[in-house]
Structure 1
Amino acid sequence: MAGRQPRRTRIGDAVVVLGVACGLALVGVSGCGRSGAATGGGGGGTTAGEVAAAVREAADALVDAGSSKARTSMEMATGGTRVTIRGEGVYDYRKRIGRLKVLLPQDPSGAPVSRPITELLAPGALFMKNRGAGVPANKWVRVDTGTLPDGNLVTGGVTDPFTAAELLRGARTATYVGRTEFAGVPVRHYRGTADLHEAAQAASEANRRTLGAAASEFATSEVPFDVYLDDQGRIRKVRHRFSFVNEERSAPVAVASTTLLHDFGAPVDVRLPEAEDIYAGRIAKE
């Protein structure tokens, strides 16, 4: 298939967590050992085995790098309209924590864009500030990502950068497209399909539950991807394509999640909210 189409279960409810009015609301290696196919010297190889190793080990290369800045986008087509949610921030691949400011698309009516939502990404949890929908401005909303039907691949309007990388551990097929350049950096372009079940089995403990949730809830576990790796095997750009059916529409909604990584080694200072700073009241669905 060209994408993954979730069953019509709780996806429509899950994406409402972000409050997007437009309707929006991972082969198997453990990562504990690297073949070296993706590291250094501009190599990476073009044989099937070398290509597979380079793609599967991309998450390990990010851990070696320590941290980076990140830009994300999530594009979807709904009701004949294409909308994009954008995010920008930093991520620590060793601690599995990050901070992104997420900008929602302008309302089709022309209403002003709301303030950016601040998202903190942590193992098993997503924290959101400026959530709206009755949440006090000084409070955070906490979501247990292991309970989300999509494993937080789309719920937050962005895909956690390390989760996006670990999804590649489930690469069933991968081909070498060629050498190119991205943002002035020489990269190797690979294209293929990842399997969520295999990715969940091979993922780090922090992502096993979330990817497992997505694997069990989506109708197909196949996720097409394009990934661009630099000469150190680090992801510079990765794009996952999939689709889901929400409760209001019978036709699938096409979604493309893109993550861009740069400035490796950038400082990351993320402090998770204290218990008293987390909103415990009812959250309205916008």
Structure 2
Amino acid sequence: MTVQRYRWRGRVVAVAVAGGLVAGLSATGCSRPGAGGAAEATDAADAARAADADVAGRADGAAGPAGAAGEKGPGAGGSGAGGSADPVATMHRTAAVLVRSGSSTVRTSLEMASGGTRVTIRGEGGFDYGKRLGRLRVTLPPDAAGADEHRPIIQLLAPGALYMKNRGAGVPADKWVRVDTTELADGNLVTGGATDPLSAAELLRGAREVSCVGERRTGGETVRHFRGTTDIARAAKAASARTRPSLAAAAKGFARDTVAFDAYVDERGRLRKLEQRFSFVNDEGRVAVVASTIELSGFGTPVTVELPPEREIYTGKVAAPGE
């Protein structure tokens, strides 16, 4: 199989996940809102290294998932890893904090519009941030594969690679499809139907304009809500060596260089929820948006991921829509 099978702009999610899922995409104290301009003068890579260093020595622990209602406005609460006086710096360090946190359980959703209908792909599993390995069970909508039901797709996430089982489209049930994510137009930020949580956090290293919207209490901790935009190319330059090639590919594959996001960070600086909105150009030449949501909880939960041996990798042709 070659990644050229995943060549359609605006269909990238459909081709990779279901071979025809969508015919085409259609049309603690928070600083004051808008803070973060000082970070513009700092080189992205230097800012990322400084953020990583700042994380060293912080205590890790588990807490409940973000999502409770009732946010307070900016300025409420105290300081802490999740309440840096500089929202931009808080975003820059989220990937490093996840690595120090070890692992977590993960829930994902990817939403897009197709023919006036909202289509959502959901996933759940776990991720080992130190080893940069994850496992997800991705579930398609009932009619996404042209049938009432479709077997969940098992995905293994690794640096530079995506492995999929139950891929369908002529792939034997006991074989895995392996994709080089550095050759995908989006670096696999949405291709597989779920965004790699560490790559999503690394993408925040390119954050430029960030404001703190408010905070909420959940699971006995304060979770702060940040909103802003991040630059994909800038993030690629600042990303870790293992993630950089995929983000560099993504910097060339989207309709817009910036990604809007809403991030929810706990008192330890850990991402609890991240919403990102990616823009594609569909086959009609229109800009279409794919919304990715990641929820992290159960930090420290053991996550075991074993990549398949070469004999279990499918080397034949993978059917694409219309073939």
TM-score by length of 2: 0.79
Match of 2:211 in 1: 175
> Which deviates the most, 52-61 or 106-115?
106-115
C-alpha contact 1:226 1:238 (8 A) present in aligned 2: yes
Q: Is the 8 A contact 1:35 1:53 kept in 2?
A: no
Partner of 2:22: 22
| Partner-residue secondary structure (3-state), 2:48 | coil
In the TM superposition, what are the counterparts of 1:69-80 in structure 2 within 5 Å? 69-80=105-116
Matched, 1:124 2:142: no
CA gap of 1:279–1:58, structure 2 versus 1, over 3 A, is same
Kindly indicate whether the alpha-carbon contact (under 8 Å) linking 1:237 and 1:258 is maintained by their aligned counterparts in 2. Answer: yes
Deviations 1:102-122 (A, max 9, x none): 001121798322010000000
- Does residue 157 of the first structure (1) align with residue 193 of the second (2)? yes
Closer, same or farther: CA 31–88 of 1 in aligned 2, 3 Å: farther
The structure with the largest alpha-carbon Rg is 2
Alignment of 1:1-16 (within 5 A): 10-12=8-10, 14-15=12-13, 16=15
**Residue 182 and residue 117 in structure 1: after superposition, are their counterparts in 2 closer, same or farther (change >3 A)?**
farther
Secondary structure in 1 matching 2:112: strand
Unaligned ranges ≥5, structure 2: 1-6, 26-38, 60-77
Can you list the C-alpha shifts for 1:130-179, whole angstroms capped at 9, x where unaligned?
A: 00000000000000000000110110000001001100000011101111
Shift of 1:10: 4.1
**Overall identity of the aligned pairs, in %:** 53
1:251 Cα shift? Answer: 2.5
Whole-angstrom CA distance in 1 between matches of 2:136 and 2:294:
12
1:256 aligns with 291
**Corresponding letter in the other structure for 1:222:** T
Counterparts of 1:215 and 1:112, CA distance in 2: 36
5 Å matches for 1:37-76?
43=80, 44-45=82-83, 47=85, 50-76=86-112
Where do 1:73-152 residues align within 5 Å?
A: 73-107=109-143, 111-152=147-188
For residues 44-81 of structure 1, the C-alpha deviation after alignment (integer angstroms, 9 at most, x for no partner) is 4464xx21111110111101100000000001112100
Superposed counterparts of 1:215-254, under 5 Å: 215-247=251-283, 249-254=284-289
Q: Is it true that 1:276 corresponds to 2:295 in the alignment?
A: no
Instruction: Tell me the TM-score normalised to structure 1 length.
Output: 0.89
C-alpha separation between the residues in 1 aligned to 2:126 and 2:55?
26
Change (3 A) 1:110 1:126: closer
Structure 1 partner of 2:54: 35
* Alpha-carbon spacing, 1:226–1:77, altered in 2? closer, same or farther (3 Å): same
Q: Which sections of structure 1, spanning at least 5 residues, go unmatched?
A: 1-8
**Which residue identity does 1:150 align to in structure 2?**
D
- 8 Å Cα contact 2:99/2:129 also seen in 1: yes
Displacement of 1:186:
2.3
Change (3 A) 1:83 1:263: same
Q: CA RMSD in A?
A: 2.4
- Equivalent residue letter for 2:53: R
For residues 270 and 158 of structure 1, what CA distance do their matches in structure 2 show? 17
* Cα offset, 1:213, TM superposition: 0.5
Q: Distance in 1 between matches of 2:55 and 2:102?
A: 18
